[in-house]
Homo-oligomer: A and B are copies of this chain.
Amino acid sequence: MVNERWLSGLLKKVQVGDISVTEAVAELSVLPYEDLMHAKLDHHRSLRTGFPEVIFGQGKTLAQLVVIAERMAAHSQKVLITRVDAAAYKAVKAVLPDARYNEAARAIIVDRAAKKKGKAGIVVLTGGTADIPVAEEAAVTAELMGNEVQRIFDVGVAGIHRLFNHLEQIRGAKVVVAVAGMDGVLPTVVGGLVTCPVIAVPTSVGYGANFKGVAPLLTMLNSCAPGVAVVNIDGGFNAGYLAGLINR
Report which A residues bind B (CB closer than 8 A). Answer: 4, 7-8, 11-12, 14-15, 17, 21-22, 24-25, 28-29, 31, 33-34, 36-41, 44, 47-48, 51, 54, 58-60, 64, 127-130, 156-161, 164-168, 171, 182-185, 188-189, 191-193, 195-197, 199, 202, 204-211, 213-235, 237-239, 241-242, 245-246
Contacts and interface: CB of A to CB of B under 8 A. Distances in A.
Contacts of A222: 182-184, 206, 208-210, 215-216, 232
A46 to B, nearest CB: 10
A128 B36 CA distance: 24
Secondary structure call for the A interface? helix
B183 A224 contact: yes
A242 B228 contact: yes
Number of copies: 8
Contacts of A227: 238, 241-242, 245
Contact of A224 (B24, B166, B182, B191): B182
A231 B232 contact: no
Given A34-B168, A183-B185, 8 more contacts: A54-B226, A183-B188, A184-B222, A196-B245, A207-B232, A210-B232, A226-B238, A227-B238
Contact of A159 (B28, B192, B215): B192
Contacts of A216: 219, 222
